[in-house]
């Protein structure tokens, strides 16, 4: 059903090649997250799948059918846009009914589907309001409601949470994950926020300059990044990289250690440095340490630690969780 296959899909806007050629398998019922820095082509890739952009080469297969040259309406996909793209002059009810009306459904079916969707999304009380009278989270839910009434093969989300404030974002993240568990429909979700990717995804696709850097489950990417880009992008706070003499000791071009895998001590350790800023979060403390000849190194210490600005400290990397990279940035 909701199985999507991309074969050597490429996209160029004039001379600018955004996606040089990319293969990807998305299995039925999977929650796939495209993640990458801005301008990496993740939104373009989503729009190619949606049919809102024409592909420059390759083929797109949805639910066993070649959809490469099929219009967006006929692909059986629903999309939730970053701006929600609600129709401002229509009530919530009419917004949700719009795709059904366009599909020529009977009023009975429309009413029933709206009732179902609004119950699932807690929108029953707002059906007669206009989008302008709703809060950000409610608008988001209307956009999702408009997507689910069509019972699509797959849902496409284009950075749907980036317009919400932090607290609401965490809530909506849970709601979308919950929705996925209930509907079991394939979902493709685009975000630049690796926390969203880690928390929601069954499978993460890390994109960089239009290329797939790595595909895998969140923990796979965290524990076994294939290259330096993925290692630095996945995980928060980001991984520390050491180059030069420190790396030569381990027989590689660079080594990467996550902030949570560095042991901090005030009297002994492998590397020495001076404490810069310490950020106290309560549960953790992030200590920025200046190591001569290196970038500032971040160490994550559980609970609190009694160090202050300018103190001399020592760090010891955990040999098991250390990542080694060669000159091309590949994992050794």
Partner 1 sequence: MATTQTKTAARFMMSPAILLLLGWMIIPLSMTIWFSFQRYNLLMPGTEEWAGWLNYRYFLTDPAFFSAMANTLLLVGGVLFVTVVGGVLFGLLLDQAIYGQGIVRILVIAPFFVMPTVSALVWKNMFMNPVNGLFAWIAKLFGFAPFDFLAHAPLFSVTMIVAWSWLPFATLILLTALQSLDSEQKEAAEMDGAGPVSVFIYITLPHLARAITVVVLIETIFLLSVFAEILVTTNGGPGYDSTNLTYLVYSQALLTFDVGGASAGGIIAVILANIVAVFLVRIVGKNLES
DSSP category for residue 331: B
Q: Concatenate the DSSP letters of all residues of 240-276 into one string.
A: EEEETHHHHTTTSSEEEE-GGGEEEESS--SEEEEEE
Nearer to partner 1, 77 or 206 (CB): 77
Least CB distance to partner 1 at residue 41 (A): 18
Nearer to partner 1, 44 or 78 (CB): 78
Which one among 85, 183, 195, 246 touches partner 1, defined by CB under 8 A? 85
Which one among 73, 115, 277, 330 touches partner 1, defined by CB under 8 A? 73
Q: Is 70 near partner 1 (CB under 8 A)?
A: no
Nearer to partner 1, 34 or 229 (CB): 34
DSSP category for residue 330: B
Nearer to partner 1, 7 or 130 (CB): 130
Looking at the DSSP assignment, which residues form a beta bridge with residue 156? Answer: 79, 188
Nearer to partner 1, 99 or 235 (CB): 99
Q: Concatenate the DSSP letters of all residues of 59-116 into one string.
A: EEEETTEE-TTS-GGGGTEEEE-TT----TTS-HHHHHHHHHHHTT--HHHHHHHHHH
End-to-end distance of the chain based on CA atoms, in angstroms? 39
Nearer to partner 1, 130 or 324 (CB): 130
Binding mask 22-51 for partner 1 (x = CB under 8 A): ----------------------------xx
Least CB distance to partner 1 at residue 2 (A): 16
Nearest of 60, 19, 17 to residue 212 by alpha carbon: 19
Nearer to partner 1, 94 or 211 (CB): 94
Q: Is 180 near partner 1 (CB under 8 A)?
A: no
Least CB distance to partner 1 at residue 143 (A): 8
Please work out the total of residues on this chain that contact partner 1, with binding judged by CB under 8 A. 26
Burial group, residue 254, by CB count within 10 angstroms (0-12, 13-18, 19+): buried
Q: Is 91 near partner 1 (CB under 8 A)?
A: no
Alpha helices in the chain (DSSP H): 42-50, 92-102, 107-120, 136-148, 166-183, 194-200, 218-223, 228-233, 245-248
Q: Distance from CA of residue 113 to its chain's centroid?
A: 30
Q: Is 63 near partner 1 (CB under 8 A)?
A: no
- Site residues for partner 1 per CB under 8 A: 50-52, 71-73, 77-79, 81-83, 85-90, 98-99, 102-103, 130, 132, 146, 150
């Amino acid at each position: 059903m909701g199985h999507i296959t991309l074969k050597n899909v490429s996209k160029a806007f004039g001379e600018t090649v955004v996606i040089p050629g990319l293969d990807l398998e998305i299995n039925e019922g999977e929650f796939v997250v495209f993640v990458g820095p801005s301008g990496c082509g993740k939104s373009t890739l989503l729009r190619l799948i949606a049919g809102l952009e024409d592909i420059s080469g390759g083929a797109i297969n949805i639910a066993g059918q070649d959809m490469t040259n099929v219009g967006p309406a006929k692909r059986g996909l629903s999309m939730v846009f970053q701006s929600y793209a609600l129709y401002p002059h229509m009530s919530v009810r009419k917004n949700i009914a719009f795709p059904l009306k366009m599909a020529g459904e009977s009023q009975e079916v429309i009413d029933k589907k709206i009732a179902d969707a609004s119950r699932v999304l807690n929108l029953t009380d707002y059906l007669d309001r206009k989008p302008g009278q709703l809060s950000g989270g409610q608008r988001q839910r209307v956009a999702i409601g408009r997507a689910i009434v069509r019972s699509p093969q797959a849902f496409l989300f284009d950075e749907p949470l980036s317009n919400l404030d932090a607290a609401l974002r965490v809530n909506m993240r849970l709601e979308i994950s919950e929705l996925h568990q209930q509907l079991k429909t394939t979902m493709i979700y685009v975000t630049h926020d690796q926390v969203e990717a880690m928390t929601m995804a069954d499978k993460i696709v890390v994109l960089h300059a239009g290329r797939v850097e790595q595909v895998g489950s969140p923990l796979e990417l965290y524990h076994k990044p294939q290259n330096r880009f993925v290692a630095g992008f996945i995980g928060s706070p980001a991984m520390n990289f050491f180059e030069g003499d420190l790396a030569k000791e381990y027989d590689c071009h660079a080594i990467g250690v996550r902030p949570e895998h560095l042991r901090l001590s005030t009297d002994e350790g492998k590397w020495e440095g001076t404490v810069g800023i310490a950020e106290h979060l309560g549960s953790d403390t992030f200590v920025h340490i200046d190591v001569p000849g290196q970038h500032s190194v971040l160490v994550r210490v559980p609970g609190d630690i009694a160090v202050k600005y300018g103190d001399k400290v020592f760090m010891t990397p955990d040999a098991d969780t250390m990542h080694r990279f060669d000159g091309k940035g590949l994992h050794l």
